[in-house]
Structure 1
Amino acid sequence: MAPNRVFIPPLEELARQWRTPPVAPLPLHPHHLQGSALGTDWSLHAFVPAHLGSEWLRACIRQETERAVARFSLWSEHSEITRFNTARAGEAVPFSPDGFAVLQHSLSLAATTDGAVDCTLGALTALWGFGPRGAPAAPPTPADIRTALHPSGWQRLQGHTDAQRHCITQPGSLLLDLNGIAKGWCVDQISSRLCREGVTCHLIELGGEAKAVGLKPDRQPWWVELEAIAGDPGPRSLVALCDMAIATSGDTRRYLEHAGTRYAHTLDGHNGQPVQGVAAVSVLHPSAMLADAWATALTVLAGRNPAQALHTATQQQLAARLLLRPANGAPDQPLHEHLSPRLAAMLDDTP
C-alpha cells in the first residue's frame, strides 16, 4: 500500500502555536456531534471547556444554521432569497447585511470568472431537478434550457443601500440560487460563533465543506483527508488544517441519473448543461465561503477548459486539486490529477 501523501499549509498561526510553550490550560473535553441541517449532514469535533456541554454546542450550531436558512434556503417560503424570487419586476427587496454581503461576494466572483459561478441560475437549477421541485422525469430539452437561461445573468442584478437598508432590485423573473456559496458561509459562521464562545479548538464539517481552528491538545493540527474518488491515481492525501477551510465540488455527491447517464449538479450558465469530465475539485482557503465558491467556479472552468481552470487557480493563488475524467469517459481508466502551484508547494516531501 502506498504511503499517505501529506499537505502542510505554510500557516503562520500553526507555526506560532507549535513554537509557543504550553501553558496550563483549562481542562478540555472532547466532543463529537452529528446532525442534519440545510438539507445535508454536519459533524463537529471539538475540545470544549468542562462548563460547556453537548446540548450547548448543538444549540449554537442550530442557531447559525437557522440563520442561514432564513437568508438562503429555497425550501423556505419566508427566506430572503425566496422573497426575492417571488417579487414583482422592479421591486427592491430588502436583505440582511450579511445576506447582502454574501450576494455581493457571489457577484464579484461571477465577474472574475466569466460567470463560472453565477447565483442567477435558479431557474436552470430547478429545471435540472436540483431545487425544491425535485428531479424531472427526463433531462430537459434544449428549448427548456433556453427558456430557463433567458431571465438569468448576474449582470442584471443591481444592489443599493438606502436608509440603512440593503436592497436588490428584482429585474423580472430572475431566480437566485446561492447554494454554491451558502454552505461555506454557514461553516464560517458556526466556526466564528464557537470561537467567540471560547471553543477555539474545533473541526466543523457541513455537506462536504470543512473548517478547522486551533491545534488539538496533543499539539497536532486537524488532519483531513482530501475526498477519495474511485479511479484517483494518487495515494491517500491528508491535509494539516489549522485556521483553514477545505471545500470539494464534483459529480459524486449530488446528481441526476437517467437512462444510465449521470448528470452532475454543477451547471454551466454558458450552455445550461451539467459540467462533464470533472470528478472533483478541492480548494483550501482561510474562508470556507470562498473555498466553497472557488471549488464551484473551478469545476465549471475545468469543464470548459482544464488549462483555463489551472491558469485561474494559479492567477488567484488558490491551493486547488483537480481530478479530471478521461476524455473518452471510460469508467475503468484512472483519473488525471492536477495540482495548482500553491497546493503543490504544500506537499511535504520529508522522507
Structure 2
Amino acid sequence: MGTRWSARVVVPAPGRYADIGAGVQGAFDGVVAEMSTWEAVSDISRFNRATIGTWQSLPPDFLIVLSAALRIAEESGGAYDPTIGGLVDAWGFGPPGPCAAPPDVETVAALLRAAGWRHVECDTLLQRARRITPLALDFSGIAKGFGADRAAAWLRTRGFRHFLVEVGGELVGAGVKPDGQPWWVDVEMPPGAALPPLRLALHGLSAATSGDYRRWFEAEGGRFAHTIDPRSGRPAANGVASVTVLHADCMHADAYATAITVLGAEEGLRFADSLGLAAHIVSRSGDGWSEAMSLAFTAMLD
C-alpha cells in the first residue's frame, strides 16, 4: 500500500502475541493481491486489462469494495468514483510514476469519456463484474480503509477484543486500553495550519483522513494534489486541505473522506449531514485557515 502500519493490541494471556504481526500483515497482503494497481498480477490489474464487455470472476472481498465504491459514487454524484484510474495515471499519481507536466486537455477529455461509475456492472450474486468502456478501476481512495477493516477482522477472529490498528493514517479502534481509557488519537492537521489539535476517542469507531498535502507536484505555475475530481478530470482545487470522517467501518470512512474533499467545504458539509456522517473539514481561507464540522461530528464533541 506504499505506507506503514501499526497495531496496538491488548493481549489477554502470555504467548498470545506471537502471530499477531504475521496475521495482520497477511490481512493487508490479501488486500494488496486483489486491489493494488501497482501489482501486475492483482485482480484489479487483471480486470483493467480484460476485454471490454467481458465478465470477470472476482473474489468476494473485491466485490464488497467495488459494490461500496459504486454506491458511494452514486450518493456523491460522482465526487467519488473508482473508475478514474486512467486519470490518476495521467496526472502522475499511479504506477507509471510522476509526470513532468499536466496532461493536455485532449487527453483529459478522452479519459473522462471512458471513465464513469455507470460504466461498470457488478453482479455480486454470480461474483463477477465487467466494464463497458476502456476505463480503469482505482481503489486507492477506499482499499486502504478496507485493509484496516480486514486487519481488525483478523484480530477479532483470534479473540482479541481491544486494539487500535493504523495504516497510513486510517484507524480502527475497538475496546479500550488496559487502563480502561479509550484509544485516543490526534487528527493530523495540514502543515502550517494554526488550529488547535483535535483528539478523538476511537471506541468501536474508525477514522480516515484525506489531505491535499501528502502527494502533490508543482508545474506551469500551479500546484496539483493527488485527489482527482472525477467530474472535471483534474485535481480538486477548492481550498479543502483535509477531511476526517468517523464511521463504523474504515472502508466507508476512507471513501467518504475523498468524496467530501472533492465536493468542497460547503457542499461537502451538506452531503455529510444528508447521510449523518461525522466529518471535520479544514480549508485554506486566504492567508489563514478555517474548519467546519458536520452535525454528527459536532454531536460527538458534546
TM-score, normalised by the number of residues in structure 1:
0.82
Equivalent pair of 2:34/2:43 in contact (CA under 8 Å): yes
Matched, 1:111 2:74: yes
Unaligned runs of 5+ in 2: none
Once the two structures are TM-superposed, the CA of residue 344 in structure 1 deviates from its matched residue by 1.1
**Equivalent in 294, 312, 335 of residue 271 of structure 2:** 312
Matched, 1:223 2:210: no
Query: How many Å separate the matches in 1 of 2:181 and 2:129?
Result: 45
Once the two structures are TM-superposed, the CA of residue 77 in structure 1 deviates from its matched residue by 1.5
Query: How many Å separate the matches in 1 of 2:64 and 2:190?
Result: 34
Matched, 1:286 2:248: yes
Query: How many Å separate the matches in 1 of 2:168 and 2:221?
Result: 25
**Equivalent in 115, 119, 138 of residue 152 of structure 1:** 115
1:21 aligned residue: none
2:292 aligned residue: 338
Query: How many Å separate the matches in 1 of 2:3 and 2:104?
Result: 29
1:324 aligned residue: 283
Query: How many Å separate the matches in 2 of 1:260 and 1:45?
Result: 44
Query: How many Å separate the matches in 1 of 2:172 and 2:223?
Result: 30
Query: How many Å separate the matches in 2 of 1:160 and 1:237?
Result: 41
Once the two structures are TM-superposed, the CA of residue 170 in structure 1 deviates from its matched residue by 2.6
2:159 aligned residue: 198
Query: How many Å separate the matches in 1 of 2:180 and 2:38?
Result: 42
CA RMSD of aligned residues (A): 1.4
State how 1:18-167 maps to structure 2 within 5 Å.
Answer: 38-48=1-11, 49-54=13-18, 56-161=19-124, 165-167=126-128
State how 1:166-205 maps to structure 2 within 5 Å.
Answer: 166-205=127-166
The amino acid that maps onto 1:118 is D
Once the two structures are TM-superposed, the CA of residue 231 in structure 1 deviates from its matched residue by 4.1
The amino acid that maps onto 2:16 is L
Equivalent pair of 2:115/2:133 in contact (CA under 8 Å): no
The amino acid that maps onto 1:144 is T
Once the two structures are TM-superposed, the CA of residue 184 in structure 1 deviates from its matched residue by 0.5
State how 1:261-272 maps to structure 2 within 5 Å.
Answer: 261-272=222-233
Q: Secondary structure at the match of 1:210?
A: strand
Query: How many Å separate the matches in 1 of 2:59 and 2:126?
Result: 8
Unaligned runs of 5+ in 1: 1-37
Query: How many Å separate the matches in 2 of 1:323 and 1:144?
Result: 32
Which digits, 9 at most, give the CA deviation of each residue in 1:132-170, with x for residues without a partner?
100011111212211221210111111225xx6411123
1:25 aligned residue: none
Query: How many Å separate the matches in 2 of 1:145 and 1:155?
Result: 18
Once the two structures are TM-superposed, the CA of residue 100 in structure 1 deviates from its matched residue by 0.8
Equivalent pair of 1:184/1:289 in contact (CA under 8 Å): yes
Q: Secondary structure at the match of 1:336?
A: strand
Larger radius of gyration: 1
State the aligned residue count: 300
Select between 212-221 and 255-264 the one with higher mean Cα deviation.
255-264
TM-score, normalised by the number of residues in structure 2:
0.95
Identity of aligned residues (%): 39
The amino acid that maps onto 2:17 is G
Query: How many Å separate the matches in 2 of 1:219 and 1:261?
Result: 49
Query: How many Å separate the matches in 1 of 2:260 and 2:107?
Result: 26
Once the two structures are TM-superposed, the CA of residue 43 in structure 1 deviates from its matched residue by 1.3
Query: How many Å separate the matches in 2 of 1:139 and 1:147?
Result: 15
The amino acid that maps onto 1:334 is G
Which digits, 9 at most, give the CA deviation of each residue in 1:16-73, with x for residues without a partner?
xxxxxxxxxxxxxxxxxxxxxx11111111221312235x111111211111012101
Query: How many Å separate the matches in 2 of 1:166 and 1:108?
Result: 17
Once the two structures are TM-superposed, the CA of residue 259 in structure 1 deviates from its matched residue by 5.5
